[in-house]
Structure 1
Amino acid sequence: MKPFLVPALILSVLPVSAAQPPLKIGLDTQATEWIVSLEGGGQVCDRAGTPLLKLAPDERLRIWWDSRGTADPTSEYRVQVGPPHTAAQAAALTKRLRDLGEAPDRVKVPDADTWRVLTGHFKTAPEAEPVLQKLQDLGFDELWVATESRDALPRKGRALYAVSDRYERRALPATGVWLKPASELTSLQGKGRYRGKVEIFPNAQGRLTVVNTLDLETYLRGVVPKEMGAWEFPSLEALKAQAVAARTYAVANRGKRAADGFDMGDTVADQVYGGRDGEQSLTDRAIQETEGLFATYSGKPIQALFMANCGGHTADVAHVFGGDAPYLKAAPCYPAKPMTLAYASGLPVTAEAQQPWLSWELLRLAAGIVPPDWLSGERLARPARIEDLAAPVRALQQRLALDPAPLARDGNLLIALAQALGFHRVVDGQERPQDAAYFLPGSLPAGDRLLATFLTRRGIVPAAAWATQAPPTLRQALVALGRLWQDLDPLTPGEGSLLMDRQVRRKRGGPEPLSLSPRLLLAEESPDGALRLVEKADIQVGDRLKWIPAEDGAAAVLVRRLDPDGAAWDRYNPTAHWRVDYAEADLLALVRKRIKVSGIRELQAQHNDQGRVLDLTLVDTEGAPHRVRGMHIRGLLGLKDNVFRFLTVGQGAQRHWIFYGRGWGHGVGMCQTGAYGMALEGASFQQILTHYYPGTELRRVD
């Protein structure tokens, strides 16, 4: 096992002001009223700071904008022509469209040095179809109906009002208000609590804009746990990498939404920001330990893009947003050599490969109730005998503090096992002869029927077991005994992820040691739940382990779960792999939200070496091709990512489209789940950042 080598941290002064100006974060632009309160009470001021009215602690106030009826729409539909372009390409395309009688605009892509070319202004998507058809007939092969922010003149309203809990109404300045708590926090009902300065003011669409102004490091306290929460990714180094990326992104995108009155929003369109309610202690520590650090290229903060899950390999920015950033190149999300730890069974195990007879009931019994060498297919296939089962039953009776009733030697052995553990005492008045007739064959003796019905209903003994005249096998008897034990004393195996120091981390818990019995049984669980005993295993760091403790608390059985998402660093996210099934009509409805098609004849996808779809052509039922690239592909099909393949089942209106894919996001920059996987295997936050942003340096503001 070879750990990551940690490079020296490069510290130098950034060519930006050491005193970073505050950030303005847009919390909302759509509501026409807010209910607010101030921690410890406080004052409502005009935006210049002049006090207007006082609020007591816990007093709520309604801020209401009377906008003279229905508010203006905040968005419109436009036709995007082609993929993102360089400035020169966009200028040439704009000129060509003007020559065709259109009135195009260029809009900069926020996350790359490229431009989108848009034409037309439409209230609804169908209104864009004539322009779409015109351009398609002229040979433009990549057209898209995009939803865009709508420019508008400031809307005149009656007034901005404050309404108290006593329904007293007071006019406020039409320019808006500044909420100043006596303590630290401003609460917005239905939204959360926020540090820093909170302002509410009318916007051009006849709604209210809410802006939270605060310093960069405090802003990060509400961002990092929302983007990579400590509960989901409890690794300090991964969280430090996220802190640096989020800090860098914030500085590089300052003013991105200045036209709306703030720098960035609080959603995935920029960075998710949760204010005070999102803060966590471990992410606070990650921010503090990286304070002032930025990822830079050629001395400037980079466009530090990141996504939830890259699907095993990130993408070159040129294939998603266009442009050419040297630090946003494709990078693998697999270790060159997985970090593994060796484990071995302390007992001889069977050499049988598949071991279809193995179950959790047998593993639990082997942790102190039956001899582990009974776990052999050949032995378990033998008929069960009273002599074999007497000792395990006595051991269970003692473990459960039950009366030491002996096993009955006459009659059905499965019934005898249940009677020895006292289950016959619960059937009188509970089970009915009618249910016995429903579950059981008529040949079962009358005295056994009610208890057999109970065992079948509880799933302890399968119904088919009562129909055979052959005696149960040792495996059938032990599985029934194990299920009886589980019914009386339910056991959930311990479960946690393997860490480099051989500790384990339970879900939403911290690292803890795992003591192993010297007589350890080692097993593997496949993705379908099948179990098999193994003599030894090299277990990859991060794999999930399950264990069954012996009476002394040490793990007597250790089960390695083979991760269904494989060996990638980004396998710790539920979207590492996914499946989406669309009926023909549902897929067509999705497609028609973006492009005008009569129907779908076929989809033609061009993939790169990592399985990411870079270019998609939809051929409609009239044979016309419609080309889509980059970010638009997953949007068109309603998928989580562009790493997918698909199958079709059925024909015509009965056809289904089944997409098998992996990853979640645009695929450019740092893979957040991959960062966690790297950290589990010993990578520092510096190594994580330089892996996903090659050629960058970490620099600190002086």
Structure 2
Amino acid sequence: MRSLPALLCFALPALAAVPQIRVGLDTQGLEWIVSLEGGGELRSLEGKRLLKVAEGEKLRIWWDSRGEADPTDEYRVQVGTAMNLADATATLKKLAALGEVPEKVEVPDGGTWRVLTGRFESAKEAEPILEKLAAHGYDELWVSTEKRKGKPRKARALYAVTERYERLPLPNSGVLLQPARELTTIVGKGRYRGAMRIFPNAQGRLSVVNTLDLETYLRGVVPREMGAWEYPALEALKAQAVAARTYAYVNLGKRAKEGFDLLDTVADQVYGGRDGEQSLTDRAVAETAGLIATYGGRPIQALFMADSGGGTIDNTFVFGDGGPYLKGVSNYAASPQVITFKGALAVAGDTPWLTPELLRLCAAGLVPAADLDSGRMARPARQDDLRATVAALASRLGRVPVAPEPGLLLWMARSLGFGEVVEGLERPDDARYFLGDAVPAPADQPLASFLARRGIAPPALWRTAPTLGQAFQVLGRLWQELEPAEFLEGTLLRDGQVRVKNGGPGPLPLAPSILVAEEAPGGSLRLVAQSAVQVGDRVRWIPAPGGSPLLVRRLDPDGTALDRYNPTAHWKVEIKEADLLDRLRTRAGIKAVKGFELTHNPQGRVTDMVVRDGQNRPHRFRGMHIRNLLGLKDNVFRMATVGEAPSRRWIVYGRGWGHGVGMDQTGAYGMALEGATFDGILKHYYQGIQLTPIPD
């Protein structure tokens, strides 16, 4: 186990007063294999010693439930979206008048109520009620999966099975695992600090519960919710630590009926125990120790999501009534920070000839920057144009260029030694296969086949005389085969440094005079006199003594939004009609679809979706139901219909990943890159809040 960094030591004495939290690691298993760091003991829940466990010994905890355990899930019909108590009560009365036996269930994260009716073993069994209620004017219906209520299953016993296959009876109430040192390992889950209990639950299965102090719990949450490798910005991680601490504190007791407070999944907060901890997220937890977000003196429901697609949304559109702090905000900075880099050369006109291979040659001093002229690069290549570069490159590689010969591409390849590696490897049949009627003379066919096979000189270049730009591209590819000159890439920081992926901040080593290029989505390049690079953009350079003579700015395909750093910032999916109908039928009882009617807010988020069925009847969906019904990552989307029934396809272009309410984790990272502190990030996404210590 790694020791804690020195900066954490100041927080440790205060942990005794920190609230304890019980985390449900699993509720579905019938057996678990465990081991204890340094050995230890198996005890009853009352603390009585039951079994001594040796260091390195694996112990199996097994619940004999007399065959298959009871299922834990059932299907119910939700009527409408989450609503306030008065509306929920009125809906209950209306449903009861129709012969239903409904009930209301409180939404823990929103202070609202869901109205449910019916209990089914499968989603298909709910279809008659869906049709019945739709006929009575209910247009927003949803088949949801709910935890089944049940009584403890009678079972033979709880056992411990040793590595020697000894089966020892244990108290049916459960056991406590007590390691001699700190960690308990649950095979298939990981290593955990704190206390560990395993006990039978109401579904006839085993619950595994980790009890530990809130601050230690957060050390396993923050890196799993917003890890330092993905978002290496301390202020963003500190904002996540406060949000996660607030969520955990508010929801203590949320699942008390199940014997714990929170699950270790996205249903609550992802928790990875000791195996999830990272040094930078440990620091974020320590530097915000005890702080939570409050509004009007009360802790908030600190909802957050991965990426909001350019802007968050008011909670009323997703989970129903919520705190006034859960308002929609933009993920676009009013004045993004930029750093300007000046280039030594800007080429007039289009530059389709400009390639990474040519830029490498320029960076190595093998092609003078003065030669980068559109007219010059577009004309047919001559050996005289390339002689100096080929000679310099051959000398760099310890070779002597061959005498000029008619075939330009073959001459360059032989000058760098490629004529020596093809005899016996390439065949005339391969040359004809790759080059067709452009195949050269028999003596040249092996080398031509090799160049085509490796993608160095594609078939089109053998049919016409290559331009000078194309010839330089081939020469650059030949060089890369023998001596790769790789670009380094990093994120530009506000102090002019760069952060290379999986590394810390460092200087951007540039020569006094540089070529500056901009790379657009799709890979096209152009040289510019200067580039105002937005903080957070990716830049590339080639290491060289005295600094890189080249800087390439990559225009982010996700634009300038603060939440553009997530792979789901923009996405595209295709939905086939058969797949769509299967989802509509299973989740909402809709058996045919005529079309969609979408209502968007100004940020492009769908706030209301009406599905017209085969009889043109409307079925309305809001909030989380929209993306769940269509199987999308987020509600920020537009769709195009292609083809005709029954073989239609819906091409969906969208942004973001999550419910869109509260703190945008990717946006928090973007704000941190722009210089925002953790409290500024939190007060941006949670309007009007204060940061206060957890009450004593």
In structure 2, the residue matched to 1:610 is 603
**Mapped contact 1:460–1:480 kept (Cα < 8 A):** yes
Q: Choose the corresponding residue for 1:351, options 341, 348, 351.
A: 348
In structure 2, the residue matched to 1:380 is 377
CA deviation after TM superposition for structure 1 residue 446, in Å? 2.6
Q: Choose the corresponding residue for 2:359, options 359, 363, 369.
A: 363
TM-superposition CA deviations, 1:355-393 (whole Å, max 9, x none): 111111111111111101211110112232333222212
Unmatched 5+ stretches in structure 2:
1-14
- Specify the SS of the correspondent of 1:29: strand
In structure 1, the residue matched to 2:474 is 480
Aligned letter for 1:464? A
**Mapped contact 2:82–2:107 kept (Cα < 8 A):** yes
In structure 2, the residue matched to 1:113 is 111
In structure 1, the residue matched to 2:539 is 545
Alignment of 1:141-290 (within 5 A): 141-290=139-288
TM-superposition CA deviations, 1:475-507 (whole Å, max 9, x none): 122111111001111232110110011111111
Aligned letter for 1:361? E
CA deviation after TM superposition for structure 1 residue 442, in Å? 6.3
Q: Choose the corresponding residue for 1:434, options 429, 433, 442.
A: 429
In structure 2, the residue matched to 1:516 is 510
In structure 2, the residue matched to 1:19 is 17
CA deviation after TM superposition for structure 1 residue 20, in Å? 4.0
In structure 1, the residue matched to 2:624 is 631
Higher mean alpha-carbon deviation, 128-137 vs 300-309, is at: 128-137
In structure 1, the residue matched to 2:289 is 291
Whether 2:661 is the aligned partner of 1:664: answer: no
Q: Choose the corresponding residue for 1:569, options 523, 546, 562.
A: 562
**Mapped contact 1:222–1:274 kept (Cα < 8 A):** yes
Alignment of 1:415-564 (within 5 A): 415-440=410-435, 441=437, 444-468=440-464, 471-550=465-544, 552=545, 554-564=547-557
Higher mean alpha-carbon deviation, 214-223 vs 369-378, is at: 369-378
**Mapped contact 1:549–1:557 kept (Cα < 8 A):** no
CA deviation after TM superposition for structure 1 residue 349, in Å? 2.0
Alignment of 1:84-123 (within 5 A): 84-123=82-121
Aligned letter for 2:564? R
Distance 1:473 1:512 in 2: 40
Distance 1:444 1:253 in 2: 75
CA deviation after TM superposition for structure 1 residue 686, in Å? 0.6
TM-superposition CA deviations, 1:584-642 (whole Å, max 9, x none): 10111122221112211101111111111111111111222111111111111111111
In structure 1, the residue matched to 2:4 is none
Aligned letter for 1:398? S
- Specify the SS of the correspondent of 2:105: strand
**Mapped contact 1:520–1:558 kept (Cα < 8 A):** yes
Distance 1:654 1:474 in 2: 49
Distance 2:36 2:527 in 1: 61
TM-score, scaled relative to structure 2: 0.96
In structure 2, the residue matched to 1:403 is 399
**Mapped contact 2:243–2:302 kept (Cα < 8 A):** yes
TM-superposition CA deviations, 1:294-336 (whole Å, max 9, x none): 1111111110000000000001000000003110000111101
**Mapped contact 2:428–2:442 kept (Cα < 8 A):** no
- Specify the SS of the correspondent of 1:653: coil
CA deviation after TM superposition for structure 1 residue 399, in Å? 2.2
Aligned letter for 2:373? S
Q: Choose the corresponding residue for 1:36, options 34, 37, 40.
A: 34
- The 1:123/1:456 distance shift into structure 2, 3 A limit, reads same
Distance 1:18 1:548 in 2: 52
CA deviation after TM superposition for structure 1 residue 127, in Å? 1.7
CA deviation after TM superposition for structure 1 residue 351, in Å? 1.8
- The 1:388/1:44 distance shift into structure 2, 3 A limit, reads same
Equivalent pairs counted in the alignment come to 679
**Mapped contact 2:511–2:547 kept (Cα < 8 A):** yes
TM-superposition CA deviations, 1:508-538 (whole Å, max 9, x none): 1111111111230001111111111111011
Distance 1:19 1:42 in 2: 26
**Mapped contact 1:598–1:622 kept (Cα < 8 A):** no
CA deviation after TM superposition for structure 1 residue 467, in Å? 2.5
TM-score, scaled relative to structure 1: 0.95
CA deviation after TM superposition for structure 1 residue 445, in Å? 2.5
Aligned letter for 1:516? L
Q: Choose the corresponding residue for 2:590, options 592, 597, 618.
A: 597
CA deviation after TM superposition for structure 1 residue 472, in Å? 3.2
Distance 2:159 2:103 in 1: 38
TM-superposition CA deviations, 1:128-158 (whole Å, max 9, x none): 1222111111111111111111110111110
**Mapped contact 1:349–1:373 kept (Cα < 8 A):** no
In structure 2, the residue matched to 1:12 is none
User: Whose RCO is larger (CA < 8 A, sep 6+)?
Assistant: 1
CA RMSD of aligned residues (A): 1.4
Alignment of 1:577-592 (within 5 A): 577-592=570-585
Distance 2:210 2:383 in 1: 75
Distance 2:588 2:496 in 1: 54
Aligned letter for 2:305? M
- Specify the SS of the correspondent of 1:380: helix
In structure 1, the residue matched to 2:677 is 684
In structure 2, the residue matched to 1:8 is none
Aligned letter for 2:166? E
Whether 2:77 is the aligned partner of 1:46: answer: no
**Mapped contact 2:438–2:462 kept (Cα < 8 A):** no
Unmatched 5+ stretches in structure 1:
1-16
**Mapped contact 2:562–2:667 kept (Cα < 8 A):** yes
Distance 1:657 1:18 in 2: 56
CA deviation after TM superposition for structure 1 residue 228, in Å? 0.3
In structure 2, the residue matched to 1:694 is 687
In structure 1, the residue matched to 2:11 is none
Distance 1:194 1:599 in 2: 49
CA deviation after TM superposition for structure 1 residue 443, in Å? 6.5
Aligned letter for 2:533? I
Distance 2:191 2:296 in 1: 38
Higher mean alpha-carbon deviation, 647-656 vs 386-395, is at: 386-395
Distance 2:124 2:432 in 1: 63
TM-superposition CA deviations, 1:560-581 (whole Å, max 9, x none): 1110101011000000011110
- Specify the SS of the correspondent of 1:102: coil
- The 1:157/1:553 distance shift into structure 2, 3 A limit, reads farther
Q: Choose the corresponding residue for 1:334, options 332, 342, 345.
A: 332
Aligned letter for 2:666? T
Higher mean alpha-carbon deviation, 508-517 vs 377-386, is at: 377-386
CA deviation after TM superposition for structure 1 residue 18, in Å? 9.8
- Specify the SS of the correspondent of 1:549: coil
**Mapped contact 2:509–2:543 kept (Cα < 8 A):** no
